[in-house]
Homo-oligomer: A and B are copies of this chain.
């Protein structure tokens, strides 16, 4: 659990991603009703459209989106590097071209914090460099040093504002660099620590090895956020090594592609076997979609390209994620997380 000026966040928590200021296909009321108490908004996208200055003028992200609970913004760096065709990393920041209109931008640590402050995020993220997972030691060491320098500049730019600021631990798959990055950031002192640069191509074993090394170095009282990883299996694994926060487009993107999560594994709604299936996606699920519609109807909506298919499947997947996190929190309190994890894994992918 941690506190922000827009309320408390129960951990471990999953944060749905609101790319352009909305979780795709969902209203803020629905996200709230499902039980989420924090969202991630991509600073990069809001910076380009409609612009952080406009959002500030309109009262900040909370008022703009009509979301009264906490918001975490990312720094914009990840998208500036992954979505832009032309980009260059200098000592001072990231030069990139907008993926929308080709306009040129320079994202510095100062600029990133300026954007996130304008949005009035409850939790801001430091600008970092996230190099390819297979970068060599030399490159990665220099990159960690750069990330530390930028983190210091972000902390300075935050100055006296009350919005929280998280540092991001990098270091690729080198244990020594991970520890060093964590130590550097701990010295600067942040409100929480993210683990970046994982889940980008390295093996799952490496992912969790690095996440554990990093998490172990972060004091217990600070939130630990594993960025971008969020399959149910990954999350329970990560929680067992001390991770508190997750964000991932998996539940929403999978839904729009017709894949839904159930208590018995994943289900691909377009499969012919569901043509005449009167049962809900998941008999054990209490969500609106499962309480109201059959697999046959959902399949039909999906096959005809109806927006409602995306809505109903997204609602279900987010409900599944919210319920999963609630169950995990309960199992942790009761000291039954280990058996919960074992059961979740044994249920496996029986459908698909």
Contacts and interface: CB of A to CB of B under 8 A. Distances in A.
B308 A50 contact: no
Bin the interface of chain A by size. 35 or more
Interface string A218-233: 0000000000000000
Interface string A1-42: 000000000000000000011101111110000000000000
A308 B25 contact: yes
B66 A304 contact: no
A311 B300 CA distance: 19
Number of copies: 2
A285 interface: no
A294 interface: yes
Nearest to A65: B297
Contacts of A173: none
A133 B287 CA distance: 49
Given A49-B303, A310-B307, A278 B25 contact: no
Nearest to A57: B276
Given A58-B276, A301-B20, A311-B25, A50 B296 contact: yes
Contact of A27 (B29, B275, B308): B308
Contacts of A64: 294, 296-297, 300
A307 B18 CA distance: 12
A294 B45 CA distance: 19
A306 B24 contact: yes
B296 A66 contact: no
A24 B305 CA distance: 10
A299 B55 CA distance: 13
Contact of A26 (B29, B292, B308): B308
17 contacts: A20-B304, A25-B308, A26-B308, A28-B292, A29-B288, A29-B292, A45-B304, A49-B304, A50-B275, A50-B303, A58-B276, A58-B294, A64-B297, A65-B297, A66-B293, A66-B297, A311-B311
